[in-house]
Amino acid sequence: MQELKKISEIIFLVEEAEDGYTARALGHSIFTQADTLEELKEMVKDAVECHFDEEERPKIIRLHIVRQEVLTL
């Protein structure tokens, strides 16, 4: 019987896109997108719940939000 590896947290890289926001999990094959940041938070929670079995699901989801700004001189 294979032992389940439980992780305590999962980190998502969140970026602004032309039509909203995208979130990609670091180290896992999870990707989601939404129109607003609040919607994205709910989508990320749902994606984590769908990706992991309850026994191995991380309890903490950390969002690393990256925002680009362009400055001109």
Residues lower than pLDDT 50 in the chain: 1
pLDDT computed for residue 2 by the predictor: 53
- DSSP class of residue 59 equals S
Collapsing DSSP states into helix, strand and coil, what is residue 32? strand
This prediction has a pTM of: 0.85
pLDDT computed for residue 4 by the predictor: 58
Give bridge partners of residue 33 from the DSSP assignment.
22
Which two tokens mark 71? 């400055």
pLDDT computed for residue 7 by the predictor: 84
pLDDT computed for residue 6 by the predictor: 76
